[in-house]
Structure 1
Amino acid sequence: MDQAFADTLRPHLRYLAADQELRAEDRLRDLGLNSMQAIDLVFDLEDNCGVTLSDDQLTDANFETAGTLWQAVESARSTTVDAS
């Protein structure tokens, strides 16, 4: 996970302490992400990480942990680069 991703995700996780490191295995729902916040998070990730998440990437599985969401962002990033 890169810093832009972690910095974008952090404000959406109300149960992640300010001094707590975000780890790939951290479950996003346990850290306070709900379905309404996930929508805002998608927009923030697209703006801050320079990706477009396709509808088929907006799954519960991809929003399970920080690591699975990071993989979706990286996948979108490689698709964006390939399309250029």
Structure 2
Amino acid sequence: MFHITRYLTATLQLGPAAAAAFAGMVSGYVSAKGEIKLKAVQKYRWIKKYTKAEYQATTKIYVNGKYKTTTTKKWISEVDTNIDRVK
């Protein structure tokens, strides 16, 4: 469950509470159903080349080889131009 929580926090940029709730849901599936597999795809496209991009992460959950649900998250990432530079 630690790896699932860490993956969700990093990839989908979920807050700790949301990631823990999702991991709890997956934990419930594991204890009740058995084998779980997560298949994830992350895509991006440049909005402004090298400074701003739109990301989309999609995770599909399979329990005992059968599809259960899909979670999709979109966000925009932009370079912070207000950072200090090292000379």
The answer to whether the superposition gives a TM-score over 0.5 is no
**Higher Cα Rg, which structure:** 2
The normalised TM-score by structure 1 is 0.30
Q: Answer 1 or 2: higher relative contact order, Cα 8 Å, separation at least 6.
A: 1
The normalised TM-score by structure 2 is 0.29
Higher strand proportion, which one?
2
